[in-house]
Chains A and B, each alone.
Chain A
Amino acid sequence: MYSRAYKMLVSLPPLLWVGLFLLLPYALMFAHSFWAVRDGVIVHDWNLHNYATLFSKPVYVEVLLRTMRIAASVTLSSLLLGYPLAYYLSFHAGARKELLYQLVIVPLWVSYLVRGYAWKTILGGEGVLNGFLQYLHLTHEPVAFLLYSPFAVVLVLTHIYTPFVFLPIYAALEHIPRPLVEASQDLGAGSLQTFLRVILPLSIPGLLAGATFAFVLSLGDFLAPLLVGGASGTMIANVVQSLFGAAFDWPLGAAISVGILILTISLLFLSERLEKRWSFK
């Protein structure tokens, strides 16, 4: 029904644009990871040296492991907050369901930066939380460990990704046919048994999607660590950022980026596979 000219007209501009402004830049990133810096200049001398450095220097491995730990903590915390919330909304909220759902969505529109900043004002030595604790005479001096620690990074990222984790889980729970739940209860299963054997297995695809989202997005974050992480909360993307900035070693930075990219894409691929395996029908 659509003519050849029509098809050409709609496909050619986006193809060219995406090729030039996305494919080429990503390819350049890839190419840089095989180049080198000599006397402060990037030379196109193809080698695997950057990747060797990446695996042989304990600093990078250490930061990468810390990053994975932080991302795993964020994922777990967001699931622990997001899943029960989604379950409550889907099965127990009754008439207020729609309103409560909107209330979870609204903070998604609050700027990332603003939320990170708000936590900074809460956790700081002169911050709101310390003020509150002293007001109640629970402490007499500011508690310092709250801000500038991996804990603060996990807290901020959990706050940001909980609604993201909530959304797919809620969607999965809403799709569970209610007769299945009724049948389970009619056949004598208790609430816990119904949850563990009917609801939870059917919500696994949503849970996986949410978890992957939280993990992957935390993995590449560099703003939360800069804002509230301090030296002990440095993550892998901060290393990349400094290699592209003051340290001026673009090739090494590119190699780490390619590493993050491969890790991200493999995780997404794996999660897609698992979701298919667990999906209903």
Chain B
Amino acid sequence: MNGHAANRRAPFLKIYAALVFIFIYLPVVVLVLYSFNRDGVGGFPPRHLTLDWYRRLFADASIWDAVVNSLMVAAGSVALSLTLGLLAALALDRANFHGKALFRRLVLLPLILPGIITGLSLLMFAVFAGAQLSLFTVFLGHGTALISVATTEIFAGLQKMDRAQEEASLDLGATPWQTFWRISLPNLKLSLIAAALLIFTLSMDEIAVTFFLIGRDNTLPLEIWGRLRRGITPEINAVSTLIFALSVGLIVIWYRMRASALGAEAQEFLERP
């Protein structure tokens, strides 16, 4: 390709791309930097580096209550949406029924629609059903909205799966149940883990749906939201920095896992006679 000629003419493009990267990362850098700033958020340059805000954060009981609440909701949502998403993906892949196209679109709606619409619809439903708003309604909301993510991920995995293995298993006398546990599920491992990680992160961060379904106990984003309205302190920077570090950690783990799984697949392929 005429790549050299193109590259020679690209310095402006390169500078532009660098500027876009700066724009994307500026808030993250500011956030992390000011979490160590003794004099609070704002002002320039940050000076008197300190870990005080982290110390304060670790002593702050209501933040940790909110973290525990968020973790419970996220774990529950992963279980709920992964189970229903797996079944929905299997149904879309293997069963034919009336309204299948409608079902597919309906499942995906929470992914496409603004969060406020799904949140308010669920609020009306909770009121209609006479349910008390609590972490449980938040969990039902997250779990239901995120079936969309689970279904998409797992359905993609099913499309790539080799059905011959399942057929062989059934032909050799395994029950459908055994085939499901020993063939289908292990084959879907990567899609299931990807979906679980994604659902977990999305639930931990969710605010638009949570906003309308929350009762007395706060999730972490709503606790932060409440504090923002009262004014800003570097304690929020500190907790955000920790969340960011945790998310990046999760991504790194995920890439390692995917790389090793792909490595194993490649190995298997090479060793085939």
Write the residues of chain A forming the contact surface with B, with a CB cutoff of 8 angstroms. 1-3, 6-11, 13-15, 17-18, 21-26, 28-29, 32, 81-82, 84-85, 87-89, 91-92, 103-107, 109-115, 117-122, 124, 126-128, 130-132, 134-135, 159, 162-163, 178, 181-182, 185-186, 191, 216-217, 219-223, 227, 237, 240-241, 244, 250, 253-254, 257, 260-261, 264, 268
A89 CA to B21 CA, complexed, in Å: 12
A227 and B44 contact, CB distance less than 8 A = no
Chain A residues closer than 8 Å to B103, beta-carbon distance: 14-15, 18
Contact of A106 with B16 at beta-carbon distance under 8 Å, contacts A121-B30, A163-B24 already known? no
Chain A residues closer than 8 Å to B204, beta-carbon distance: 111
- Residues of chain B from 1 to 58 with CB closer than 8 A to chain A in the complex: 1-2, 5-7, 9-10, 13-14, 16-17, 20-21, 23-28, 30-31, 34, 41-45
B207 and A113 contact, CB distance less than 8 A = yes
A216 CA to B116 CA, complexed, in Å: 13
A240 and B120 contact, CB distance less than 8 A = yes
* Interface-central residue, A25, A28, A85, by most chain B CB under 10 Å: A25
Q: How many A-B residue pairs have CB under 8 A?
A: 239
Query: How many interface residues does chain B have, given as a range?
Result: 35 or more
- Residues of chain B from 110 to 141 with CB closer than 8 A to chain A in the complex: 110, 112-118, 120-125, 128, 140
Which of B7, B85, B95, B122 interacts with A25 by CB under 8 Å? B122
Chain A residues closer than 8 Å to B73, beta-carbon distance: none
A/B interface sample: 11 pairs, CB < 8 A: A18-B103, A92-B10, A114-B31, A117-B232, A119-B27, A120-B228, A131-B45, A135-B44, A163-B24, A181-B1, A220-B113
A261 and B7 contact, CB distance less than 8 A = no
Chain B residues closer than 8 Å to A162, beta-carbon distance: 20, 23-24
A73 CA to B84 CA, complexed, in Å: 38
Closest 6 CB pairs of A and B: A220-B114, A131-B44, A118-B27, A25-B121, A11-B91, A14-B88
A257 CA to B25 CA, complexed, in Å: 34
Contact of A1 with B167 at beta-carbon distance under 8 Å, contacts A11-B87, A17-B144 already known? yes
B221 and A18 contact, CB distance less than 8 A = no
Which of B60-68, B187-195, B240-248, B260-268 lies at the interface?
A: B240-248
Nearest opposing residue in chain B for A119, CB measure:
B27
A117 and B236 contact, CB distance less than 8 A = yes
A6 and B117 contact, CB distance less than 8 A = no
Which of A2, A112, A130, A185 interacts with B94 by CB under 8 Å? A2
Nearest opposing residue in chain B for A4, CB measure:
B95
* Interface-central residue, B24, B115, B205, B236, by most chain A CB under 10 Å: B24
A82 CA to B166 CA, complexed, in Å: 43
Additional A-B contact list (16), CB under 8 Å, known A82-B20, A109-B251, A113-B225: A15-B91, A15-B97, A28-B125, A85-B16, A105-B251, A110-B244, A111-B221, A115-B27, A117-B236, A118-B30, A121-B41, A128-B42, A135-B45, A182-B1, A182-B2, A254-B124
B44 and A28 contact, CB distance less than 8 A = no
B20 and A121 contact, CB distance less than 8 A = no
A219 CA to B43 CA, complexed, in Å: 33
Query: Counting CB contacts under 8 A, is B185 at the interface?
Result: no
A8 CA to B124 CA, complexed, in Å: 30
Write the residues of chain B forming the contact surface with A, with a CB cutoff of 8 angstroms. 1-2, 5-7, 9-10, 13-14, 16-17, 20-21, 23-28, 30-31, 34, 41-45, 84-85, 87-88, 90-91, 94-97, 103, 106-107, 109-110, 112-118, 120-125, 128, 140, 144, 147, 163, 166-167, 170, 176, 201, 204-205, 207-208, 212, 221, 224-225, 228, 232, 236-237, 240, 243-244, 247-248, 250-251
What is the distance, in angstroms, from B161's C-beta to the closest C-beta of chain A? 13
Chain B residues closer than 8 Å to A106, beta-carbon distance: 248, 251
Contact of A131 with B43 at beta-carbon distance under 8 Å, contacts A6-B176, A227-B228, A244-B212 already known? yes
Nearest opposing residue in chain A for B170, CB measure:
A1
Nearest opposing residue in chain B for A264, CB measure:
B113
A126 and B42 contact, CB distance less than 8 A = yes
Which of B2, B28, B97, B163 interacts with A185 by CB under 8 Å? B2
Chain B residues closer than 8 Å to A181, beta-carbon distance: 1
Which of B44, B87, B107, B167 interacts with A132 by CB under 8 Å? B44
Chain B residues closer than 8 Å to A14, beta-carbon distance: 84-85, 87-88, 91, 103, 107, 147
Chain A residues closer than 8 Å to B34, beta-carbon distance: 121, 128
What is the distance, in angstroms, from A265's C-beta to the closest C-beta of chain B? 8
A29 and B120 contact, CB distance less than 8 A = yes
What is the distance, in angstroms, from A253's C-beta to the closest C-beta of chain B? 7
